[in-house]
Chains A and B, each alone.
Chain A
Amino acid sequence: MQIYVCVKHVPDSAANIVISGKNSIDKSIPFLINPYDEHAVTEAVKLKKSLKKSEVVAVCLGTDDAEKTLRSAMEMGADRSILIMVATGQDSITTAKALKAAIESDGEPGIIFTGRESIDDVGMQTMFRIGKAFGFPVAANVVKFSIKGSKVTVESEREGGIRDVYELPLPCVLAAGRGLNTPEYPTFPQIVKARRKQIKKIDFNTLGIEKIGAAMEVVELKPFVKKRCPVEIKGTPLVAAEKLAKILHEEAKVI
């Protein structure tokens, strides 16, 4: 089976975000693979090991620098990868179309794994758009996965621990959530091996993606800082507890 995994190159979650211009960020910060996409790669590689004759291909739409994220995916066990090269990030409407075109021109997908959301845009939608483009069913926030013949069974965590158990036919799109598996740090031999793996580069402009007159565009970016002036609650433990209760009652009005 051809297993595709969509991985996004995102700013390190610990990085300081500095806004540059009206609507973009200073990109001279570390970027790495989207954390949820690590779960997607891990699951894809696990699946490959249980199937005969299958291949895991990581796919990313991004700038040259995104090679690093594809390299990480290959260190984690993806066999090869595809980079759709763009000058700037695209919205999820266009991204999904490009990912579809690139995957389709490469092979016949059995399962496409994605992450449940990207930590920079938090669009929560690219997987559904990929599903629609292919005509495949989609399961979101997958925390458990099994396959039997041409059917997969997944547990999709909805909210507050509620899990929907779905059955989907192949081919399908599955968005990995945390809890699906535990990604492992690649070993040194895996890192060395990944250096020799292939990255196929496709220029976005050659994919012939038509803009459909629907788009999402960030027109302004502002830092979010909620000014807080920390005040210490002092006194003996009992006095502090009483003061805190008073704050909850009088100021926060929650009790």
Chain B
Amino acid sequence: MEKTGIFIEIANGRIKNANYGMITAARGSNSELYAFVINFKAEKIKKKLYAHGIDKIIEIRAENDFEMAWNPVSWSKAVMEAMNAFDIHILLALTTGIGKELLPRIAAELDAPLVMDCIGIDFDKKTAETFRYSGKTIATVKLTGMDLLFGIKPNIIDAVPVNTDSVTAVAMSSDSIDSTTREIDALPETKDISALTKPEIIPFTIKTDFLKTTGQFKNIKLNKTVMPETSSSDNFSNVNLMDADIIISGGRGMKNRENFKILSDCAKQLGAAVGASRAAVDSGWVPYSMQVGQTGEKVSPKVYIACGIAGSIQHFAGMKTSNMIIAVNIDLDASIIALCDYYIVMDLFEIVPLLTKVISEINHT
């Protein structure tokens, strides 16, 4: 039977919810599904992975049970080593910060085709669907080669569990997953007894020698990783833009840096991430990591709330795949009004604090 490898992304010790949509996509291959985890004891997530259709879990770690320190070269080498050991020629990973480092490095090394930000895969035809021309078109790309690599756009493909009975399957639909960074906490009991033993967990140890890179695949040395300071004034929300179910963004209409606090307060009540237009970033009000658009993050939350953002074609390129778009703008003629689902023609400084108040009341009852 053919095998498909899936690189499971773990963030802060927890499995990212976007992984489940990716596994659902991988099931279309009708092959044996191998989940790769690095530096992670899969026992905790074994049941959940099984519920979504994973057959085997490969626990990758360094010799002597050491953690494999983050380094894109050694991590991609380790994944390739595992693909090789289990004779896997199809690999999926999320198109996230880590996926963008690992997949193209592996693709380059294997001289294999790779399509990033896939929103659908047809394994029979060996095609993947992805956006081209900044979200203005959807391209179907045919991949030819010995090994096929796919980067999956996070949060677009709905997760549909398989190995549960119908009742519990409903309870597990992606809607019941509260926040993307959180896990599905209560996994329903399954009647399938094999779930107790499945999926098989296979430890896979990478020799330290092997990690010392040589020749063609030369190393790059990681000196340190700088985390954004959570206490810094640049930190408007604790929710990552790419993982967020709700994003509330501000544009030039915010008028200054201090006013972003209004969005930040609202985001806290909503459990949302805070984004920005390039105008707000270029004015120096907020860091570039918050920019949504053509030359910023490309996001697809369930709800995108744009406050004081005109809706330029470049901003749209980064958020048009959002499920619901809500615009708050004083100008009825702003482009975003014609391109959204709901709009409020009102001063954002009036409506946003009220929304915060209303939500906080809901949260406290």
Interface, chain A (partner B; CB < 8 A): 11, 13-14, 16-17, 19, 23, 25, 35-36, 91, 93, 96, 119-125, 127-129, 131-132, 135-141, 153, 155, 157-169, 172, 178-179, 212-224, 226, 228-233, 237-238, 240-242, 244-245, 247-249, 251-255
Which size bracket describes the interface of B in this complex?
35 or more
With both beta carbons as reference points, the residue of chain B lying nearest to A232 in the complex is identified as: B343
Say whether B219 faces chain A, with CB atoms less than 8 Å apart.
yes
A252–B302 CB distance below 8 A: yes
Say whether B223 faces chain A, with CB atoms less than 8 Å apart.
yes
Cβ contacts A to B, 17 pairs, < 8 Å: A14-B313, A121-B132, A138-B220, A140-B100, A158-B97, A160-B242, A168-B221, A213-B146, A216-B114, A217-B142, A217-B144, A218-B141, A224-B136, A226-B320, A232-B345, A244-B358, A255-B359
A129 to B131, CA, bound (A): 21
B108–A131 CB distance below 8 A: yes
Q: Which one of A25, A135, A153 contacts B216 once the chains associate, using CB atoms below 8 Å? A: A135
Given A25-B133, A167-B223, answer yes or no on A220-B140 (Cβ-Cβ < 8 Å): yes
Q: Which one of B224, B339, B346 contacts A228 once the chains associate, using CB atoms below 8 Å? A: B339
A224 to B130, CA, bound (A): 10
Instruction: Kindly name the residue among B134, B291, B314, B359 whose own CB sees the greatest number of chain A CB atoms within 10 A.
Output: B134
How close is B322's CB to chain A, nearest CB, in angstroms?
9
A172 to B218, CA, bound (A): 10
Q: Which of B41-49, B184-192, B225-233 contacts A (4 or more CB under 8 A)?
A: B225-233
Q: Which one of B132, B137, B358 contacts A241 once the chains associate, using CB atoms below 8 Å? A: B358
Residues of chain B within 8 A (CB-CB) of A160 are: 97, 228, 240-242, 289
B146–A13 CB distance below 8 A: no
B137–A223 CB distance below 8 A: yes
Residues of chain B within 8 A (CB-CB) of A127 are: 104
Say whether B324 faces chain A, with CB atoms less than 8 Å apart.
yes
A222–B138 CB distance below 8 A: yes
A165–B132 CB distance below 8 A: no
In chain B, positions 134-173 with a C-beta closer than 8 Å to chain A are: 134-146, 151
With both beta carbons as reference points, the residue of chain B lying nearest to A223 in the complex is identified as: B137
Given A128-B105, A230-B337, answer yes or no on A165-B354 (Cβ-Cβ < 8 Å): no
Instruction: Kindly name the residue among A91, A168, A220, A254 whose own CB sees the greatest number of chain B CB atoms within 10 A.
Output: A254
Instruction: Kindly name the residue among A161, A166, A222, A240 whose own CB sees the greatest number of chain B CB atoms within 10 A.
Output: A161
Say whether B67 faces chain A, with CB atoms less than 8 Å apart.
no
A25 to B137, CA, bound (A): 10
Say whether B2 faces chain A, with CB atoms less than 8 Å apart.
no
How close is B35's CB to chain A, nearest CB, in angstroms?
21
Interface, chain B (partner A; CB < 8 A): 70, 72-73, 95-98, 100-101, 103-105, 107-109, 111-117, 127, 130-146, 151, 175, 215-216, 218-228, 234, 240-242, 245-246, 270-271, 287-289, 291, 294-296, 302-303, 312-314, 317, 320-321, 323-326, 337-346, 350-351, 354-355, 357-359, 362
Q: Which one of A123, A157, A241, A248 contacts B357 once the chains associate, using CB atoms below 8 Å? A: A241
A121 to B105, CA, bound (A): 18
A162 to B228, CA, bound (A): 6
A194 to B57, CA, bound (A): 57
How close is B180's CB to chain A, nearest CB, in angstroms?
10
Residues of chain B within 8 A (CB-CB) of A122 are: 116-117, 130-132, 134
How close is A160's CB to chain B, nearest CB, in angstroms?
5
